[in-house]
Amino acid sequence: MSGPLTGLRVVEMVGLGPGPFAAMMLADMGAEVIRIDRKTKPGEKTAFPILGTKYDVLARGRRSLALDLKQSADQAVLLELIDKADILLEGFRPGVMERLGLGPDICLTRNAKLVYGRITGWGQHGPLAHAAGHDLNYLALTGMLHAMGRADTPPPPPLNLVADFGGGAMMLAFGVVCAALEAQKSGLGQVVDAAMVDGSALLGAMIYGFKQFGAWGSERSANLLDGGAPFYDSYACADGKFITIGAIEPQFYALLLKLTEVQDSSFHAQMDAISWPVLKQKFAALFASKTRDQWCEILEGTDVCFAPVLDMNEAPQHPHNLARGNFMEIDGVQQPAPAPRFSRTAAEVPPPPARPGQHSREILQDWGVSENLVRQFQHL
Q: What is the pLDDT of residues 291-301, one digit of tens each?
A: 999 999 999 99
Q: What is the pLDDT of residues 195-249, one digit of tens each?
A: 999 999 999 999 999 999 999 999 999 999 999 999 999 999 999 999 999 999 9
Q: Quick one: pLDDT at residue 158? A: 96
**pLDDT surpasses 50 at 261:** yes
Contact 65, 36 (CB under 8 A): yes
**pLDDT surpasses 50 at 339:** yes
Q: What is the pLDDT of residues 4-63, one digit of tens each?
A: 999 999 999 999 889 999 999 999 999 999 999 998 776 667 778 888 899 999 999 999
Q: Quick one: pLDDT at residue 309? A: 98
Is 42 exposed, middle or buried, given 0-12, 13-18 or 19+ CB atoms closer than 10 A?
exposed
Q: Quick one: pLDDT at residue 370? A: 86
Is residue 146 among the annotated active site residues?
Answer: no
Of 134, 193, 303, 318, catalytic: 134
Q: Quick one: pLDDT at residue 64? A: 96
> Could you give the C-alpha distances from 131 to 17, 93, 218, in angstroms and in order?
17, 9, 28
Contact 335, 328 (CB under 8 A): yes
149 CA to centre of own chain: 21
Q: Quick one: pLDDT at residue 378? A: 57
Is residue 134 among the annotated active site residues?
Answer: yes
Contact 199, 171 (CB under 8 A): yes
**pLDDT surpasses 70 at 185:** yes
Q: What is the pLDDT of residues 102-148, one digit of tens each?
A: 999 999 999 999 999 999 999 999 999 999 999 999 999 999 999 99
Of 37, 86, 135, 164, catalytic: 164
**pLDDT surpasses 70 at 1:** no
Find the mean pLDDT for residues 243-256: 98
| Domains of the chain and CATH, by start | 9-203+350-376 (3.40.50.10540), 232-315 (3.30.1540.10)
Q: Which residues contact 69 (CB under 8 A, 6 or more apart)?
A: 38, 75, 78, 100, 102
